[in-house]
Structure formats: C-alpha cells, structure tokens
Amino acid sequence: MLELRDLSFGYGARTIGSSVSLTLGPGEILALLGPNGAGKTTLFKTMLGLLPPQAGDVLFDGASLATLSRAERAKRIAYVPQAHAALFPFKVRDVVLMGRAAQVAPFSAPGRRDREVAAGALDRLGMSHLGERPYTEISGGERQMTLIARALAQEPKILVMDEPTASLDYGNQMRVLSHVRRLAAEGMAIVLSTHNPDHVFMVADRVALLHEGRLAGLGQPAEVLTPATVKRLYDIDVVMGVLPGGSFQVSSPRLNTGE
Amino acid sequence: MTPEADISRANRKLIVLGVAGLLLLTLGSMAIGKYWVPPGTILRALAAGLTGGEANVDPIQQTVIWNVRLPRVMAGLLIGAALAAAGATYQGLFRNPLVSPDILGVSAGASLGAVLAIFLRMPVPVIQAMSFCGGLLAVGAVYAVGAAVRGRDPVLTLVLAGVAIGAVVGAGISLIKILADPYDQLPAITYWLLGSLTAVNRADVASILPAMLLGLLPLVLLRWRMNVMTLGDEEAQTLGVDTRVTRLALIVGATLITAASVSIAGIVGWVGLVIPHIARLLVGPDFRRLLPASIMLGGGYMLIVDTLARSVALTEIPLGILTAVVGAPFFLWLLASGKRDWS
C-alpha cells in the first residue's frame, strides 16, 4: 500500500538520509527505531509530503505522492503529532472535526456527515465523554488520544505516528499502544516511531532501524532487534528476554555508572 | 440539537444582540458632542435625509448630524471593526497572543507613506492614498522576504521579516520627522501618528469602504479554515489544507482592512490586540464566532473611545492615547489574572 523506494530525504541541499526502501501493507504496524538525529522526523515529513524527496519516491498504491494534491494525500495518510500544548481552547470535538479539513470545501464549514465521522472517531477510542472539554484542559494522554481521533476522522488508510508514547505516563503509554494494536486489527496500516524497544516488541509486526540516515535493519522485531543492534544504535548494553508470566520480550539495560 | 445548529443559533443571537447594542451606541454617540442633540431629532434628521423629505429639524442640526457626526461615527465603527477583525486573524494565523494588526509592518508602512505626504505638503486625499499604498508595500516586502527564505518555519520567518522591515521603515519616519518643519509639519505628523478621526468626512468613509469589504471577504469565507490554520503550518498541511494559498488570502484580507483604516484614522494602537482577547473570552476560539464577535466589539469599543476623545476635554484627545490608556492596563490584568485563554 505504501512504498518507499530508494528514498533520499533532507532539507534543501542537506541530505539527512538515503537509500531507504520499505513497504507497508494494510493492518501492519511498522515501528521505526533510531537514536535522536537519525532522521526519523525528516523521514516522516517526507512520507507525509511535507518535504519533497531528494531522490527515490514515496508511492501510495503505486502512485507517486507528488502527483496527489494535499487534500488527496490527507484522505490517505494521516499524521498523529506528539501531544502538544494547544494555543487556543478549542473543544475536543472541534479539534477532531478539523480532521475533516480535506473533505470540506475551502469556503465552507463541516456538515452533518463530517460531524458524524468525527463523533464516530471519538467513540471508537472511547473518548466521547470528553467531546465538550477544552483541549487545553485535558491531560497529556487525553490529548494524544484526541489527536489520534482527529487522524481517524480523516478516514485514512495509513497512520503516521510520531513517538505516540513520548511524554505520557506509564498507564497512558499502554492505553495508546493498545489502541494502536486495535486499529491495526481493524485494517489500518500504521507507522510509528519510538525509542523504547519494549514498545516495538509489544505492538510492531516489523521494525525498521534507522542509523545515521540509513536502514540498519528491517524485519520482524525478534530477528532484527537484538542486544547487538541496540548497542549499535544507542551505545547501551542490554539483555533481552521474556519475563516469567510475560507475553512480550523486554529489554533490560545495564547502566554505565563508571564503576 | 446538533452542536452545529447550536453554533448557528448562538451566532444569530450574538449578532442580533450585537447589532442592537451597536445601534444604541451609535445613537448615543451621535447625540453627544459640542452640543447635545436629542436622539429623536437625530432619527428624524436621518429619516429625512434618506427619503429626501422635509424634516422638522433645524438646518444647522441637520448639517451637524449628516456631515459631521454620522461620518465620524461610521468611521469609528468601521475602523474598530476592521482592526479587531485583522487582529483576531493575525493572532490565530501567527499563533501568538502578542500579535496585533501591524505585526507585518502595515502600520509602519502606512505611517511612512502618510508622513512623507505631509512632509511634501500634499492634500489630504493624497496623504490617505500614500498611507494606504505604504502599508500595502511594507507588507508586500515582508511577504516577499518570507517567501524567499526557504526551509524555515514560514510563520516565524514572516514575523521576523516584519520586525526587520518595520525597523527600516521606522528609521525613515524618524528621518522625515527631523527634516520636517517643527512649527507646521511636525505637529501634523505627530497628531497623525497618534490616530484621530477629527477630520473624517463622508467621502473618506466612502473611499475606504470598498477596501474594507474586499478585505473582509476572505476572512468570512475562510472562517472555518482559519481554525485549522491555528494548528500551525505542518499540521494544517497534513490535514489537507493548502497553507500557502490560505495564509496569503488571509494576510491580504487583514492587511487591506488595516491599511484602509490606518489611511484615514492614523495609528490607533491596542484595539486589534485587546479586542480579540475579550471576544475570545466571551465566545471561545472558533473563528466562526470569534470573527463576528471581534467585529462588533471592536466597532463598539472604538465608538465609545472616539466619543470620549471628542467630548471629555475642550480639545480633542488623540485616539491612540486613549486606546493605550484603556488597553494596556486591561492587557496587564489579562496577563496577571492568568485566564486560561492561552496555555
């Protein structure tokens, strides 16, 4: 469905990453793991069409992203930014409704069907009770869920999530990941970035390791994400294994205390 | 009861209330002045003027009402409404509470145009025209710089370009002030820079009306898109909005109405900064309600300020002084009271 073909990306003349090729199918979760500065954000921006590819191409169902209008892109690929502090106290319902922008003509306002889709998106995430609350007064976890609902209101085929668990407390991290899993089970293709190997094991079907702008590994988490690759990416020694009674692999780091 | 039906019903209520309030204010403002004209007389004079019929009104009063007070009241309403609408637009577009209609240098450019025209001893219509053009030119220059710089946040680039070009234009204004005749031109320049509606006549009001309506059009048409623009450039793009075209349309609209109002009233500060805040406190951030609320509050506020300006003292007080005296403390209160308007 989504294909990156030998993609080079960067800002202006500066190349951040190159030779990235990968594909994503319906219902699949692809995790992107890589240290700060590896180019995850730039890669996302290129996938979303915010930056033009420097070489190679981003294809959606075989059609180059560059041939689609912004509105056409927004109907296919939705972006979930990190939960941010909003400036204006829009109601949660109105924030989600903004996901309909691609469907609403420039000079008009959302109609009945748009409102139904937005309400449905909130409902799907169990957020309906928050609809009337100002976005500025809800918790970080609720904001992240609101932004996911907004992305769902776009009725996309693909979700691109930028560190969806960053700056959330432990409970909210797990709630967001459960929803990610559920959305994929319903057929959504999802790309998400993370720094936490545990989260990759929990939700990802495949993982792409990004190191200094290049793919340092691509495949099933159990095969690709090993103590050796974590050492290479983050320069941290870890041991991995399934805890007694646990259902996922976990990664346990060894701290360098200088002793 | 869908929420949307709520919005349009609430909006209708808001507009009916607002218009009723404005009509009362207008009548009151026209009654007050060097001498008191009873509201009944005003209504009769206006009706007679409109129908061309005979009114039982003293011809002097008729002249005062039609040629002095009506144009002035109309200009006050228009300018207050325009500045508040432009301020609400820019605050959303630039996602910053400290933004006022002159963020992109429109007031500075308009001032340079007007000051230059005063310096060159041009007649009043030319001063107004040069002011209007100066405002548009300054914003055009800022926008050109912003468009030429690539690979940076376009909104931040625009604001910083506005600061830089505003400084250059300000230097030009200072230079002309030094060169100007201190007995004749300098007072005129200073008075203009403080804002006033003293000399406004019917032709002035008519001359800015087309630019006002034209500038308001994109703001009204893009009223919902404007909400999406407050998310910032990249998020709005991923939601499918062509942010470059949308931003350009909104900036052109807000600049037109600001330049038009500055061209006849001079620099009237603080209205475009403070009124949108009050409007947001009253009706919330949704631009579909914020725009009409800002327009009506701005018009009403300017009407009250101008009425005070021409009636509290023997000589007229420049508007900019009054709006600053009222606006700045209010703004500080807003800041200190920690209203969760901006988090």
Chain A contact for B282 (CB, 8 A cutoff): no
Higher pLDDT, B62 or B137: B137
* CB B264 within 8 Å of CB B204: yes
Q: What pLDDT does residue A78 have?
A: 96
- pLDDT tens digits, B57-108: 788 888 888 888 999 999 999 999 999 999 999 999 988 777 788 788 888 8
Measured distance CA(B93)–CA(B246) in Å, rounded: 10
Phi, psi of B125 (to 5 degrees): -60, -35
Query: Which residues on B lie below 8 Å from A137 (Cβ)?
Result: 340
Which domains occur in chain B, in start order?
A: 3-332 (1.10.3470.10)
Q: What proportion of chain B, given as a percentage, has pLDDT over 70?
A: 95
Please tell me the predicted confidence (pLDDT) of residue B64.
86
Take residue A228 and report the two structure tokens written for it: 């050796």
Q: State the fold for domain A2-84+156-254.
A: Rossmann fold (3.40.50)
pLDDT band at B337 (very low <50, low <70, confident <90, very high): confident
Which pLDDT score, from 0 to 100, does residue B3 have?
55
Quote the pLDDT of residue B343: 37
By Cβ distance, the residue of A87, A91, A110 closest to B230 is: A87
Check pLDDT > 80 for residue B310. yes
Residue of A nearest to B218 (CA): A107
Element (H, E) at B182: none
Q: What's the whole-number mean pLDDT along residues B258-265?
A: 90
Hey, are the CB atoms on B222 and A101 less than 8 Å from each other? no
How far off is chain A from B7, nearest CA to CA, in Å?
Answer: 11
Cβ(A42)–Cβ(A17) below 8 Å: yes
> Could you give the CA distance from residue B234 to residue B240 in angstroms, rounded to a whole number?
10
Euclidean distance between CA atoms B224 and B7, whole angstroms: 12
Minimal Cα distance from A95: which residue of B?
Answer: B228
Per-residue pLDDT at B1: 39
Whether A102 and B240 lie within 8 Å, measured CB to CB: yes
Residue B55: its pLDDT value, please? 66
**Contact at CB, A85 and B241, closer than 8 angstroms:** no
pLDDT for B339 equals: 54
Q: What is the pLDDT of residues B13-43, one digit of tens each?
A: 888 999 999 999 999 999 988 788 888 888 8
Listing DSSP states for B240-296 in one string gives T--HHHHHHHHHHHHHHHHHHHHHHH----SHHHHHHHHHHHHH-S-HHHHHHHHHH
Nearest to A12 among B151, B234, B280 (CB): B151
For B169-183, write each residue's pLDDT tens digit. Answer: 999 999 999 999 999
Task: State the DSSP string of chain A.
Answer: -EEEEEEEEEETTEEEEEEEEEEE-TT-EEEEE--TTSSHHHHHHHHTTSS--SEEEEEETTEEGGGS-HHHHHHHEEEEPPP---SS--BHHHHHHGGGGGGS-TTS---HHHHHHHHHHHHHTT-GGGTTSBGGGS-HHHHHHHHHHHHHHT--SEEEESSTTTT--HHHHHHHHHHHHHHHHTT-EEEEEES-HHHHHHH-SEEEEEETTEEEEEE-HHHH--HHHHHHHH--EEEEEEPTT-SSEEEEEE-----
pLDDT at B112: 94
- The secondary element (H helix, E strand) that includes residue B184 is none
pLDDT of B233 above 80: yes
Alpha carbon distance B111, B131 (integer Å): 6
Tens place of pLDDT per residue across chain A (259 aa):
899 999 999 988 889 999 999 999 999 999 999 998 888 999 999 999 999 999 999 999 989 998 999 999 999 999 999 887 778 899 999 999 999 999 999 899 999 999 999 999 999 999 999 999 999 999 988 999 999 999 999 999 999 999 999 888 899 899 999 999 999 999 999 999 999 999 999 999 999 999 998 999 999 999 999 999 999 999 999 999 999 998 899 999 988 777 6
In chain B, which residues have their Cβ closer than 8 Å to the Cβ of A48?
237-238
**Angle at B232 (CA atoms; ends A150, A210), nearest 5 degrees:** 75
Taking CB atoms and an 8 Å limit, are B240 and A93 in contact across chains? no
The pLDDT tens digits of the residues spanning B175-208 come to: 999 999 999 899 989 888 888 888 888 899 999 9
B226 at A interface, C-beta within 8 A: no
* Type of residue numbered B54: E
Q: Which residues, numbered 192 to 251 in chain A, qualify as contacts with chain B under a Cβ-Cβ cut-off of 8 Å?
A: none
Collapsing DSSP to helix, strand or coil, B302 comes out as helix
| B316 secondary structure, DSSP code | P
Domain limits, chain A: 2-84+156-254
Distance from CA of A221 to the nearest CA of B (A): 29
Residue found under tokens 């190191």: A211
Rounded to whole angstroms, the Cα distance separating B31 from B43 reads 10
B142-151: long-range pairs with CB below 8 Å, 24+: B142/B104, B142/B105, B143/B104, B143/B248, B143/B251, B150/A12, B151/A11, B151/A12
- CA B317 to chain centroid, in Å, comes to 18
How large is the ipTM? 0.92
DSSP letter for each residue of B1-62 = --HHHHHHHHHHHHHHHHHHHHHHHHHHHHH-SSS---HHHHHHHHHHHHHT---SS-HHHH
CB B274 within 8 A of CB B284: no
| pLDDT value of position B320 | 87
Q: Which of A19, A4, A54, A49 minimizes the C-alpha distance to A213?
A: A19
Question: For B314, which DSSP code?
Answer: S
pLDDT at B37: 87
B222: which chain A residues are within 8 Å (Cβ-Cβ)?
Answer: 106-107
Confidence class of residue B342 from pLDDT cuts 50, 70 and 90? very low
Whether chain B has a CB inside 8 Å of the CB on A113: the answer is no
Q: Do the chains contact at B224 and A79, CB–CB below 8 Å?
A: no
Q: Position of tokens 């960067």? A: A10
Query: Within the 119-138 window of chain A, which residues sit less than 8 Å (CB to CB) from chain B?
Result: 136-137
Query: A9 to chain B: which residues are within 8 Å by CB?
Result: none
Query: Shortest CA distance to A27 belongs to which of A221, A180, A244, A255?
Result: A180
Min distance A95 CA to chain B CA atoms (Å):
9
Residue B84 to residue B301: CA distance in whole angstroms: 10
Distance, CA of B334 to CA of B343 (rounded, Å): 13
Chain A CB contacts of B342 under 8 Å are 87-88
